[in-house]
Amino acid sequence: MSDANKIRTGFAATLHQICTERGISAEAVLESINTALLTAYRKDYATEYDQLEADGKVVVAHIDPESGEYKIKAGDPEADLSTYKDVTPPFFGRIAAQAAKQVVLQQVREAEKTAILTEYRDRIGELITAQILRLDGKNIILDIGRGQGVMPPEEQIRGEYYRLNSRIAVIIADIRETFKGETVIVSRSDERLVKELFAREVPEVGTGVVTIKSLAREAGVRTKLAVESTQDGVDPVGSCVGQKGVRVQAVINELNGERVDIIPFNPDPAKFLKSSLSPADNLEIEFVTAGDKKVANITVPDDQLSLAIGRGGQNVRLAAKLTGYHINIVSSETKKTASATGEEEYEIDLLNLDTKVRGKLIDASITRLDQLLGDNISRLQELKGIGPKTVDAIKKALDAYQTASATAEK
């Protein structure tokens, strides 16, 4: 075998090493090499290539996976490859190796990335511990094992500080198309993070003896989850809390102090609703038919109204998400009211803002009401598309909400 018929870059000799180290298929690497060889031949021997095509021939490149010997062949489209004629130019090896190097490396990288994406696509929803590598604008780049994951702002916990090289629990949330191509997205705000943390910390949840029937979360602030036992004699709430609260505290620590409320699931809607609105008690519930919506009108004693609603409407909002009911709350004596549909995603949704304005605030990571207080609201004009009239409308909506909340708590 002549030196001219060897790829000097040594890809054939290191094929097994490349495939083993990078976890890609040998077929993908060989296909990359064949593509690179044909590209080099077409570029540097354009006259010969064009003549072969003019004669109706098909030109292919082929490398032997065992020996590394390569050939450029041409033949009739309908003929068997074994009958194709060898048209490899003398000393083509030097040209091919140099011309193909970058193409091969690029395709190897792409094949590796495809293999990684395929692996993580099958692992969506899995809990992992990842190391923070760097910040890329508002995105957090993490080492997730075989590759890197991106945690965009909407997948981060509001107010959480991320330190370089620290290790954090995240959920593999999605494979998402970005301007850099398909990217593994990881999340700290995803509800699945809480579920998987309980599955890790609570053996009964991990084995299915205790199931999480529903979960409502405002990431970084508070989570409510309803649990049920599939075996007699097993206390689902006690299992999740653990002796002296050690199990739930482990979850809370992973969530940087996020409050976690655990309640027993009950197939009786009235009992489930009452539990979901705890710590408020002495509730009277009336179910109402409103098309395809499930609506519950709940009357509470005046001294329980603020507990039922919660700070910023959080308790009733999470209860609505947890149970799937549109909840209307009214105090028994003063008839003060509050409501939640369960569809509110952020605190600013309580202001019933115009969709476009809401979108601009969320894009600017303004999702909490406290971000609109004081001088913050005047700075909104710095955002593109928000002028004085819009700021005034937001301020009026905020004032109206604060007035209503203050009245309800009296």
CATH number, residue 285: 3.30.300.20
Cβ burial 200-239 (10 Å sphere, 16+ → b, else e): bbbebbeeeebebbbbbbbbbbbbbbbbbbeeeeeebbbb
Query: Among 239, 265, 291, where does a domain finish?
Result: 265
What is residue 217's predicted lDDT score, i.e. its pLDDT? 94
What is residue 404's predicted lDDT score, i.e. its pLDDT? 64
Distance CA 87, CA 77 (A): 16
295/212 same-domain check? no
96/139 same-domain check? no
* Mean pLDDT of the residues in the chain: 85
167's enclosing H/E stretch is: strand 167-178
115/57 same-domain check? yes
Distance CA 229, CA 262 (A): 13
- Give the position of tokens 């809607």: 269
137/83 same-domain check? no
Angle at CA of residue 245, ends 241 and 251, nearest 5°: 70
What is residue 186's predicted lDDT score, i.e. its pLDDT? 96
Looking at residue 373, which CATH number applies to its domain? Answer: 1.10.150
- CA nearest 149: which of 312, 195, 168, 53? 168
Higher per-residue confidence, 67 vs 237: 237
Please tell me the pTM assigned to this model: 0.69
Domain of 327? 267-344
Average pLDDT over residues 203-226: 94
* Beta-carbon contacts of residue 237 (< 8 Å; ≥ 6 apart): 227, 262, 263, 264
Query: Among 265, 292, 327, where does a domain finish?
Result: 265
152/96 same-domain check? no
Confidence of residue 163 (pLDDT cuts 50, 70, 90): very high
Average pLDDT over residues 346-371: 76
Q: SS3 for 242?
A: coil
What is residue 205's predicted lDDT score, i.e. its pLDDT? 97
Q: Is the pLDDT of residue 344 over 70?
A: no
Tell me which range, 127-141, 175-189, 338-352, 358-372, is most confidently predicted by mean pLDDT.
Answer: 127-141
Distance CA 217, CA 318 (A): 7
81/141 same-domain check? no
Q: Is the pLDDT of residue 11 over 60?
A: no
- Among 12-16, 57-61, 217-221, 400-404, the minimum mean pLDDT is found in 12-16
The residue type at 340 = A
Q: How many CB atoms lie within 10 A of CB 391?
A: 18
Higher per-residue confidence, 220 vs 172: 172
Q: What is the pLDDT of residues 129-152, one digit of tens each?
A: 999 999 988 899 999 998 899 998
Looking at residue 58, which CATH number applies to its domain? Answer: 3.30.1480.10
Angle at CA of residue 154, ends 150 and 158, nearest 5°: 110
What six digits make up the tokens of 151?
């945690």
317/401 same-domain check? no
Q: What is the pLDDT of residues 66-119, one digit of tens each?
A: 777 788 899 998 899 889 999 988 888 777 676 667 766 777 777 778 888 888
Distance CA 277, CA 259 (A): 15
Average pLDDT over residues 3-29: 64
66/104 same-domain check? yes
Q: Total structural domains in the chain?
A: 5
Distance CA 407, CA 147 (A): 53
Cβ burial 260-296 (10 Å sphere, 16+ → b, else e): bbbbbbbeeeeebbbbbbeebeebebeeeeeeeebbb
11/117 same-domain check? yes
What is residue 381's predicted lDDT score, i.e. its pLDDT? 82
In order of 9, 38, 50, the CA distances from 56 in angstroms are: 33, 17, 10
What six digits make up the tokens of 336?
């003060």
